Each structure stands twice: as structure tokens, then as C-alpha cells.
Structure 1
Amino acid sequence: MPSGTVSNLWRLYLFIILFNLCKVEKIKYISLERPVVLNYNKKYVTFFNASARRYSRGDPKYYISGHGESRVPLDNRILLDIHFYKSSGNTYKRTFFELHYKLCDLINKDTFLGSSIKRGSFKGTCPFPSGSYHVENITIPIESVPASLPLKKGRICVNVSYVTGDNMGSGYIDLEIKEKQVQGIK
């Protein structure tokens, strides 16, 4: 065999080996970005803030953190109304998809949001005493997203109220369901 043919065969073998070592896959994930706390009632909450950050360029997800101090026990007297808005150009239109929870029911029973929140400083079972609480690195696993979710890009608005009807606080976060090709070693 001529030396050029042997050289080409080695290149082909090397290419096949590298191709089999490197795996390219497409991952689907939920990107939660730009959390905003619109207000909170000082009668019930001393302070509350939320932030989002990515840990590296290789990890496309944003991780949400929330920190706050409650003046009242965290129990089922706290009601959450979660509304989903679909992005339509530069406006948001409310969808039919909404969730309504009592706080302990959300933390203990829900698989969509509750499982993510439970990883924070909520140790033990609900109800929790008043005090400081911190939730770090919240993401929503794509597997727990209902197939009936009517949006790929939008906003989640959350209104928190007390059983007496008082507003405890509100805020929103932008969300997008994305796909990205990830390359790595098998």
C-alpha cells in the first residue's frame, strides 16, 4: 500500500475513535431568568429578595435563590396564586393555566414547584415557625412540567396572600423552555 493510503486510513480510524468518544446530545431545559419582587407587606415579611444566576457558560440553566424573613408562621394560612402569561412580542397575555395553593400543600404535595422549594431551608414538615428562610439553586426539572403547559416563552406571576385577605407580596419571573446541544465524553 502507498504511504498516503496508510496515512488516510489512520486518519479515518482516529476520526471514528474520536467520534465514538464524544457524545453530542440535545438537552431540553427550563430557563428561569430575571426574578422581580414587586412588593411585600412589612406586617408579614421583614424582607424578601430573589436573584438568578448561571454557574458557567457550559451550564445553560439559571438557578434561582430566594431569601426572606417571615413575621408569621409559614403554614396553610398563606395562599399562593400562580398565573402564567405567554410572551406575545413585547407584551404578555394571560393564559388559562394557573395554580392555586396553600403553602404547606405546595411544599409537601406538589411535584412541579414544591419539590424544588423543598430543597431550601425548609427542613422537617410544614408548618414552619416564623424566621429567616433561604432557598438556593432552584430549577424546575423539565420532566415535572405538565405537557399541557401552553407556552414556550412567558412569565410566571405569583401573588401571596394571607387567609385574612391581606396581600403578603407579589413578584414575577420570566421563563423559557429551551434546547441546547451539549457535547461531552461518554
Structure 2
Amino acid sequence: MNCIAIYLSVLLIYYLMYSFQCLKAIPERAEIVFYNTSIIEDNPTFNVRRYSRKGEYVINLVFVSRAVMDNTVSMDIIFYEYLHNEYRRSFPEMHFKLCDLISSDPYVGKTMREAGLSSCPILPGKHAITNMTFNHIIPSVWPFERGMTEFIIKHTNISRIAVGKLFLKFKQ
């Protein structure tokens, strides 16, 4: 009986530490700043939605590609801190090759895999990456509470394919 009480107390302490040391990223709004019409056709959609009053905010991305996107495409994720009514570039940055991001990244890549983009290379055609959420474990150490994330998608031969911005809140 004493062992069960010790086990339950250790489990309770672990649960309390785990729940208080996770960071939650809450998307506020999204926008597409630029897209190359020779690679992406029509108007791509990049938005943030909430499907119920108490539901999570989800990110949706719908686009039609004209070319194959593989490891020659890279994605730069740059974070900006909201400070004194403007967004200033901060030190966290992520740089990935597209296929490496989708297959092995534990944060952004996992979110993309769970939303339906699980294979690489991305073939030409319509792609819908819907209901992306950041509900997995993110380390609790983060330098700011409100910010913007800029996604720059580049090809080795073509300078830029697309640039998008996602405005976020970070809560402990």
C-alpha cells in the first residue's frame, strides 16, 4: 500500500512539473507577403481559424504548386519580438532543407506531418495543409511573450518562392 502511495505522489509531481513547464504557442493571424507566380499559381491561402468558442486556433495553408519541391528548396524561420509597438528581429532562427524539415524536425515538421504533409518531394498540384496546431511539447524557455514568425521559402536556382508571416502569442 505504501508503494502505491509513493508511486501516485511521484506521478502527481511529474504531471504538475510537466504541465507548468510547457510553452504554448497561440497563433493570432497569418498573411502571405510574397509568392513567386512561376512556382505557385493562383492565390495561396494562409489563415488562422478557430472553429468553436473553446477550440484551439488552427493554421490553414492551401496552395497550388507548378514545380516539384524537394531538398533544393529551403525554409528559413525567423522570429521577431514585439517590443515598443514594433516587431524587432530576435535571435531564434531555424534553417531547414524542405524534405529534412518534413521528415525529421520535432516541432515545425511534426506539426506539418500531423496536418497531412507527410511525403517529400512535394509534387505539382493542389496541396491543403489544414488544422495545424502547436499542441506538442515546446521547451518552456522562450525569450518573449508576443512575436512574429517569418517563413522564407527559397530555391537554390530561384531566389524566393514565398514569404509568409505568422503572428503568435507565447504562454507558459
Query: In which range does the TM-score fall when normalised by the shorter chain?
Result: 0.7 to 0.9
Q: Is 1:112 aligned with 2:94?
A: no
Counterpart pick for 1:89 among 72, 84, 106: 84
Cross-structure match for 1:19: none
Cross-structure match for 1:172: 165
Q: Separation in 2 of the partners of 1:135 and 1:112?
A: 16
Q: Is 1:155 aligned with 2:151?
A: no
Please tell me the root mean square deviation across aligned C-alpha atoms, in Å. 2.0
Q: Is the 8 A contact 1:79 1:101 kept in 2?
A: yes
Q: Is the 8 A contact 1:46 1:68 kept in 2?
A: yes
Q: Is the 8 A contact 2:23 2:139 kept in 1?
A: no
Deviation of the 1:149 alpha carbon: 3.1
Aligned residues between the structures = 152
Cross-structure match for 1:58: 54
Do the aligned partners of residues 142 and 115 (structure 1) sit closer, same or farther apart at CA in structure 2, a change above 3 Å counting?
closer
Q: Separation in 1 of the partners of 2:159 and 2:170?
A: 33
Cross-structure match for 1:39: 34
Percent of residue pairs identical? 29
Counterpart code for 2:52: S
* SS of equivalent to 1:118: helix
Do the aligned partners of residues 154 and 142 (structure 1) sit closer, same or farther apart at CA in structure 2, a change above 3 Å counting?
farther
Structure 1, residues 17-48: CA drift from partner, whole Å, max 9, x if none?
A: xxxxxxxx989632112100001001111131
Question: When the two structures are superposed, what TM-score results if normalisation uses the length of structure 1?
Answer: 0.74
Deviation of the 1:121 alpha carbon: 3.9
Q: Separation in 1 of the partners of 2:40 and 2:166?
A: 20
Q: Separation in 1 of the partners of 2:102 and 2:144?
A: 24
* SS of equivalent to 1:149: coil
Cross-structure match for 1:128: 122
Q: Is the 8 A contact 2:46 2:62 kept in 1?
A: yes
> Mind listing any 5+ residue stretches in structure 2 that lack a counterpart?
1-18
Deviation of the 1:148 alpha carbon: 4.3
Counterpart code for 1:138: M
Q: Is 1:137 aligned with 2:144?
A: no
Q: Separation in 2 of the partners of 1:88 and 1:108?
A: 34
Counterpart code for 2:109: G
Q: Is the 8 A contact 2:23 2:140 kept in 1?
A: no
Q: Separation in 1 of the partners of 2:142 and 2:60?
A: 24
